[in-house]
Amino acid sequence: MGALRLPSLSSFFTSSSISLRSSLLFRRQNRLGFPLRPLSTAFSSQNTAEKETEIEDRQASQKSRVQDRVITPRSQDFNAWYLDVIANAELADYGPVRGTMVIRPYGYAIWEAIQDYLNVIFKETGHSNMYFPQFIPYSFIEKEASHVEGFSPELALVTIGGGKELEEKLVVRPTSETIVNHMFTQWIHSYRDLPLMINQWANVTRWEMRTKPFVRTLEFLWQEGHTAHASPEEAEKEALQMIDVYTKFAYEQAAIPVIAGRKSKVETFAGACKTYTIEAMMGDRKALQAGTSHNLGQNFSRAFETQFTDENGQRHHVWQTSWAISTRFVGGIIMTHGDDAGLMLPPKLAPVQVVIVPIWKKTDEKTGVLNAALSVKQVFVAAGIRVKLDDSDQRTPGWKFNFWEMKGVPLRIEIGPRDVSSGSVVVSRRDVPGKQGKVFGISMEPSVLVAYIKEKLDEIQSSLLGRATSYRDSNIVDVSSYTELKEAISQGKWARGPWSASDEEELKVKEETGATIRCFPFEQPQGTKTCLMTGNPAEEVAIFAKSY
Amino acid sequence: MGALRLPSLSSFFTSSSISLRSSLLFRRQNRLGFPLRPLSTAFSSQNTAEKETEIEDRQASQKSRVQDRVITPRSQDFNAWYLDVIANAELADYGPVRGTMVIRPYGYAIWEAIQDYLNVIFKETGHSNMYFPQFIPYSFIEKEASHVEGFSPELALVTIGGGKELEEKLVVRPTSETIVNHMFTQWIHSYRDLPLMINQWANVTRWEMRTKPFVRTLEFLWQEGHTAHASPEEAEKEALQMIDVYTKFAYEQAAIPVIAGRKSKVETFAGACKTYTIEAMMGDRKALQAGTSHNLGQNFSRAFETQFTDENGQRHHVWQTSWAISTRFVGGIIMTHGDDAGLMLPPKLAPVQVVIVPIWKKTDEKTGVLNAALSVKQVFVAAGIRVKLDDSDQRTPGWKFNFWEMKGVPLRIEIGPRDVSSGSVVVSRRDVPGKQGKVFGISMEPSVLVAYIKEKLDEIQSSLLGRATSYRDSNIVDVSSYTELKEAISQGKWARGPWSASDEEELKVKEETGATIRCFPFEQPQGTKTCLMTGNPAEEVAIFAKSY
C-alpha cells in the first residue's frame, strides 16, 4: 500500500518539547494580530528527525508566510490544507503518543451529530446498544484464520497489569468480532434468541504506521454493529440494510455522494465472506472508504462454536454481520466540502448552523445592536437552529467573518445600526462567496426570519450535495482497457470498467498504478461487458482509484 | 482495605471453558421451564482454583436450588442477591478477561439514561465534550508525585505495538489529568483562554484485584470533567458546583439520598487538594462512593507547566478541577432500591417505565386484547412514556409478571377481555407488592390514562427516594466516643461524630473497625463539638462507614 498513500505522516508527531517550542512561536505571532496559527507548517516542523536549527529556519520562514495567508490553499497542497484546516478550525490536535489524536470540542461536536443521527436509526432498525470490554485474550484473535492474518501486524498488546507480567497477552481491541462471538456463544441457545442485534460506540486501536488526523489514527472512535441470524438470507439482508443506512446518512446528512458497492475478494474484511462499502471522492479525488458492512457468514460462529437449536431440534452455527462507521468520516466531510477559505460544513451536521456577527462603531450604537442580535439568537434557539452569537469586543467584524468562514459555518447574519433601524438583517452563505452569497434586508420578524433561514440551510445542504456529485461524476472515467485505466488513474481520476480478472491481476493494477478496486458498485450499467484486463466476459464493472 | 471488602470476587472470573460448562448446564435447566438462571451460583462456581469434580458437585446441588427459587433473597446473602439480579435481569455478564464486564443492553440503557441527563447539565454549565487518547506515555504519570503513588499499582501497560517492543511503555488511561494537562499547556496562553471547561465520556482501566460487576471492574465507563481557571476561588466554585450537580442527579433522577461532603486528607484523590464526594448507603448499609469532584489546585499545572498570562502580563499556573461519575453508579441503583424480587428502578432512569401484559385464554379473545394493548402502547409512546408490550405467546401472564418485576419495571398494566369490554386497565406498582399496589378499572381513555400513569411514575419516584432516605437515616448513629463508633460499625451502621484527630488515628479506626471516613458532610450539626477520638475541640462531624 506504501505507494498509494501520502508521504509518511507519522513523522509529524513529535515530542512535547519541540511542539512547545513551535507553539510558543505561534503564540508570539498571534499577538501581532494574526488570527490563526499556520499549523500545517507547525506540524510539518514537528519532525523528530530534524535538527533544531532546521526548525529555527522553518520558523523564520513561517513568519513571513503567516503574513501572506493563514491556510495553505487547497489547490496548492491538499495535504497541508487539510492539516491547516484541522488545526485552525480547532477540530483536533496531536496527542503525545505518535499517531494519536485529541478530538477538540468543535470536531467532537461533528462526531456527536453523526452519533445522534445514526443512534436513532440503529434503534429504529432493531439494534440495542451495549458495551464489550476492550481487552481481548490474544488466543481469541488467533481463532479465525484470516482475521489473525489481517489484524496481527496492527495490534497493541498489554503485557503488564497491576505491576505484574500477564500470563496471556491482552489485545487492545482493533475490532470486536472475537469477543462478541465469545459472548454470543453464551447467550444464544435456540432460534428464539435470534436475531441478536447489537451495537456499541467505542474506541478501537490499530497500530498504523502512516497516520493522518481523523483518516487513520492509532486510536479512533467508531460504532460497531454485530448481529447473529438463523439463516444466511437474513444475514445478507442485514448487511445490505446497514450499508443502505450508511449510504442514506452520507447523502442526506453529510452531503457526500458516496458510491455503494461490494468489495473485491482482495479488499474484503479479514474474516468476512462479503464486505459492502461506501466510497467517497475527496477534494483531491482520492477515494475514502467511509463505512463498511460485512456479511461474516459462519466464519466466526464456527471459530467460536456459536450455535443455535432450530425448530426441529437441529443445531446450526449462526450467520453473522458486522458494520462500522468511525471518526474517519469527519475527515471525509472536511475533504469533500472544504475550500481555500477552510472548512465548509453541511448544515445538518454543523455544530453551528448560523453565526450572528453584530457590527457597531460608536458606543451608543452598541446596546441597540447587541440587543437585536441577542433577540435574533433567542428566536433561533427556540426554533431549534444551532446558533452562535459572536459578540466579543476583541475582534473586528472582518476578522470574525473570516474566522467563522474558516470554521465552515453555513450561514452568517450581520446586524448593524442601520439593520436595527430597518428591522432587518444581512444573510451570507458560506457556500457562495462574496456579494453573490449575500442578501440584504431580510426581516427580523421571527417567523419570517426563521422560515428564511431554514430554507437557506436546506438549500445549502442540497447545494453541497449537488456540487460534490458533479465533481464526482466529472472525475469518473469509463474505461474499457488497461491502457485507459492507467491513463485515468494517472490523471488522478477514478476509472470504472468491466472486471472479471484474477486477484493477481488486481494486485498488479495496484502495484503498477497505485489504484485498487474500491468496489463493484450496486448500480451497474446495462449491457454485455468485457473485462478490461483479460477480454473475457465480465458480469460487473469495478471502480478503481487511489485511496486513503 | 482487605478487611473492609467482601471476600475476593476476582475468583469469580473464569476461563471460558469452565463458564461454558456452567452455561450449558443452565441451558438444560432452562428447558425444564425455569424462567431464570441462578447465575450467582454459576459465577460462584467459576473459581478457576476449583477442581472440576467440585464444580460438578455444585452443579448437582444447584439443580435442586433452582427449583426452590430464582434469586437468592437479599436478606439471606446480599452479595449473591446482587450477582443474581445482575445476571437474571441481564444487566451485565463477565468478560473473558478476569475482572472485565460486558454491559448488556438493559444495563447499558440505564447508563444511557444517566448520560442523557448529565450531558445536558454539563453543557448548560458551560462544558464542551471532547476526546483525549487513552494511551499516555508512562513518563506523564510520574510527573505528579502523589498521582503516580496512587495509580502506579493499578496500571495496565502496553509494551508491544505493531509487533515491536515500544521504547516507552504506554499507560492505558486510569484517569486523564496528565494527558489533559499536557494538552492544556498547549492551548492555554492568556487569561482570555480561561476558564477552559471540558468533559469526556470514555473507558478507563484500573488493574483492580477485587472486582465486582459495576462497582469495581478492571475497565469501566465514565465521564471525566476537566477545567482550568484563572483563580483558586473559581476552581473551588467549579468543584463545588459539580458535586452539587451530582447530588441533584442522585436525588432527583436516581432517587438515591446521597450525603455530599469533603473527603478526609487520607481519602483525597491522588493529586488533588480537596476531594468532594457523594456517599450512598446501599441495602446492606455499606457506603458506595458514587461520584467525586476534585479541586486540583495547581498540582498538575505545576507538574505540566500549564500557565497563563494575566491582564498585567504576569504568568501564573492555572487552578484546576476534575470530576467523574462512572458505571459504578448503576451498581448503586441496584443496591439501593432492589428487593427480594429483584431490581427496582427509579422511573426517571428506567429503560422501561411501563410494561403492558395482555391476558387472554380463548383464541377469540386474543385479537381484541392485543389490539387494545397495542393502542395503549401507542398512546404511551406518543406521550413520551417508555413502554414495552410483552405480547409473546410462549410465556404465561404469571411468568411475565414475575419477569418484569425482577427487571424492576416501575409499572405494569394488565389488559384482559373484561378490561377490553369495560374500556379500562389494571395498573400494578413494582414498589408496592401484591394487592395493595394494584388498582383496577383505570380508564383506557388516552388523556386519563396518560395523566394517571405519569402521576404514578412521579409517586413511585418520590416513594423510592423517601424509602431510601428513611432507611439511611435510621442507620446513621450519632456517636461521641470511639466506643460508640465501634459499636455502631459492628452493627453494620454508619457512625457520625465530631472528628479532629490525626491521619494515623483515622487509619487506626480503619484497621480496627473496617470503617473509613466517608466524608465530612456539608450539612453539619450546630453547636460546639468534641473529637470522639481525642477529646479535643472539633470543627466538624465526620461520617464513618464500611464501604465498597
Asked if the Cβ–Cβ distance from B202 to A203 is below 8 Å, we say yes
Is CATH 3.30.110.30 correct for B476-546?
Answer: yes
Chain B residue numbers touching A139 (CB-CB < 8 A): none
- From CA A198, how far away is CA B108, in angstroms rounded? 11
What is the least distance, in Å, from the CA of B457 to any CA of chain A?
Answer: 24
Q: Single out the residue of B452, B450, B537, B456 nearest to residue B501, CA to CA.
A: B537
B294 vs A17, more confident: B294
* Partner residues linked to B162 by β-bridges: none
- From CA A245, how far away is CA B68, in angstroms rounded? 48
- From CA A39, how far away is CA A37, in angstroms rounded? 5
Q: Which residues contact B248 (CB under 8 A, 6 or more apart)?
A: none
Is 70 exceeded by the pLDDT of residue A138?
yes
Using an 8 Å Cβ cutoff, are B514 and B4 in contact?
A: yes
Place of cell 509518511: A8
Chain A residue numbers touching B394 (CB-CB < 8 A): 192
Using an 8 Å Cβ cutoff, are B151 and B270 in contact?
A: yes
Sheet holding B424-429, edge to edge: B387-389, B354-358, B411-415, B424-429, B438-443
Question: What average pLDDT score do residues A303-311 get?
Answer: 97
HEC assignment per residue over B146-204: HHHHHHHHHCEEEEEECCEEEEEEEEECCCCHHHHHHHHHHHCCEHHHCCEEEEEEEEE
Using an 8 Å Cβ cutoff, are A492 and A545 in contact?
A: no
Window 148-177 of A, Cβ < 8 Å to B: 152-163, 169-170, 172
Flag whether residue A330 sits within 8 Å of chain B, measured between CB atoms.
Answer: no
> Cα dihedral sign for B352, B125, B188, B182?
negative
Cβ pairs A/B, distance under 8 A: 178
- From CA B262, how far away is CA B251, in angstroms rounded? 18
Computed over every residue of chain B, the mean pLDDT equals 89
Q: What is the pLDDT of residue A145?
A: 82
HEC assignment per residue over A94-146: ECCCCCCEEECHHHHHHHHHHHHHHHHHHHHCCCEECECCCEEEHHHHCCCHH
Q: What is the pLDDT of residue A65?
A: 35
- From CA A116, how far away is CA A220, in angstroms rounded? 18
B84: its cell numbers: 443474581
A380 vs B23, more confident: A380
* Partner residues linked to B529 by β-bridges: B538
Confidence of residue B55 (pLDDT cuts 50, 70, 90): very low
Q: What is the pLDDT of residue B167?
A: 95
Which tens digits make up the pLDDT trace of A159-182? Answer: 999 999 999 999 999 999 999 999
Residue A171 has phi, psi (to 5 degrees) of -85, 130
Q: Specify the amino acid at residue B365.
A: E
Q: Where in chain B is the domain with CATH 3.30.110.30?
A: 476-546
Q: Where are the beta strands (DSSP E) in B382-472?
A: 387-389, 411-415, 424-429, 438-443
Confidence of residue B148 (pLDDT cuts 50, 70, 90): confident
Q: Which residue from A101, A133, A189 is facing B219, i.e. has the nearest CB? A: A133
Flag whether residue A136 sits within 8 Å of chain B, measured between CB atoms.
Answer: yes
Q: Where in chain B is the domain with CATH 3.30.930.10?
A: 101-337
Q: How does strand A196-205 pair with strand A128-129?
A: parallel
Using an 8 Å Cβ cutoff, are A497 and A479 in contact?
A: yes
Q: What is the pLDDT of residue A151?
A: 87
Residues in chain B, overall count:
548
B152 vs B223, more confident: B223
Place of cell 473551588: B236
What three-state secondary structure class fits B535? Answer: coil
Q: Single out the residue of A350, A344, A293, A292 nearest to residue A468, CA to CA.
A: A344
- Percentage with pLDDT > 90 across chain A: 84
Chain B residue numbers touching A101 (CB-CB < 8 A): 133
Chain A residue numbers touching B97 (CB-CB < 8 A): 133, 135-137, 170
Q: Single out the residue of B89, B103, B94, B5 nearest to residue B45, CA to CA.
A: B94
Q: Single out the residue of A93, A89, A105 nearest to residue A13, CA to CA.
A: A93
Is 50 exceeded by the pLDDT of residue B14?
no
Residue A433: how many CB atoms within 10 A of its CB?
14
Asked if the Cβ–Cβ distance from B96 to A198 is below 8 Å, we say no
Residue B33: how many CB atoms within 10 A of its CB?
8
Asked if the Cβ–Cβ distance from B95 to A152 is below 8 Å, we say no
End-to-end CA distance of chain B: 10
Asked if the Cβ–Cβ distance from B27 to A189 is below 8 Å, we say yes
Which tens digits make up the pLDDT trace of A314-338? Answer: 999 999 999 999 999 999 999 999 9
What is the least distance, in Å, from the CA of A261 to any CA of chain B?
Answer: 31
Find the helix packing angle between B16-31 and B52-68, rounded to 10°: 30
Q: Specify the amino acid at residue B346.
A: P
What DSSP character marks residue A359? -
Q: Single out the residue of B448, B459, B344 nearest to residue B405, CA to CA.
A: B344
Place of cell 463508633: B485
Q: How far is CA B485 from the centre of its chain?
A: 27
Buried b (16+ CB within 10 A) or exposed e, A301-335: bebbebbbbeeeeeeebbbbbbbbbbbbbbbbbbb
* Partner residues linked to A496 by β-bridges: A478, A543
- From CA B79, how far away is CA B213, in angstroms rounded? 11
What DSSP character marks residue B315? E
Residue B209's alpha-carbon distances to A161, A198, B10, B49, in angstroms, are 10, 30, 6, 16
Q: What is the pLDDT of residue A150?
A: 85
Q: Torsion over CA of A9, A14, A20 and A22, rounded to 10 degrees?
A: -40
Place of cell 443502505: A244
Query: Which CATH fold topology does A354-461 show?
Result: Rossmann fold (3.40.50)
Confidence of residue A268 (pLDDT cuts 50, 70, 90): very high
What is the least distance, in Å, from the CA of A343 to any CA of chain B?
Answer: 19
- From CA B228, how far away is CA B300, in angstroms rounded? 10
What is the least distance, in Å, from the CA of A537 to any CA of chain B?
Answer: 42
- Percentage with pLDDT > 70 across chain A: 87
Is 90 exceeded by the pLDDT of residue A149?
no
What is the least distance, in Å, from the CA of B78 to any CA of chain A?
Answer: 26
Q: Single out the residue of B144, B187, B168 nearest to residue A102, CA to CA.
A: B187
- From CA A215, how far away is CA A220, in angstroms rounded? 9
- From CA B76, how far away is CA B339, in angstroms rounded? 11
Asked if the Cβ–Cβ distance from B134 to A159 is below 8 Å, we say no
Is 60 exceeded by the pLDDT of residue A69?
no
∠ CA(A355), CA(A358), CA(A363), 5° rounding?
160
Q: Specify the amino acid at residue A219.
A: E
Which CATH architecture is the domain A101-337 placed in?
Answer: 2-Layer Sandwich (3.30)
* Partner residues linked to B93 by β-bridges: B102
What three-state secondary structure class fits A336? Answer: helix
What is the least distance, in Å, from the CA of B188 to any CA of chain A?
Answer: 10
Using an 8 Å Cβ cutoff, are A286 and A299 in contact?
A: no
Chain A residue numbers touching B153 (CB-CB < 8 A): 162-163
Is 80 exceeded by the pLDDT of residue A510?
yes
Confidence of residue B150 (pLDDT cuts 50, 70, 90): confident
Residue B466's alpha-carbon distances to A544, B31, B254, B492, in angstroms, are 67, 41, 12, 21
Q: What is the pLDDT of residue A480?
A: 97
∠ CA(A177), CA(A183), CA(A189), 5° rounding?
120
Window 199-258 of B, Cβ < 8 Å to A: 202-203, 205, 207, 209, 218-219, 221
B137: left (phi over 0), alpha (psi -120 to 50) or beta: beta
Computed over every residue of chain A, the mean pLDDT equals 89
In terms of average pLDDT, the best of A360-364, B53-57, B236-240 is B236-240
Using an 8 Å Cβ cutoff, are A156 and A207 in contact?
A: yes
Q: How does strand B128-129 pair with strand B196-205?
A: parallel
Q: What is the pLDDT of residue B376?
A: 98
Question: What average pLDDT score do residues B345-361 get?
Answer: 97
Q: Where in chain B is the domain with CATH 3.40.50.800?
A: 354-461
A15: its cell numbers: 515530542
Asked if the Cβ–Cβ distance from B97 to A137 is below 8 Å, we say yes
What does the DSSP assignment read for A21-56? HHHHHHHHHHHTT-SS--HHHHHHT--TTS-HHHHH
Largest CA distance in chain A: 85
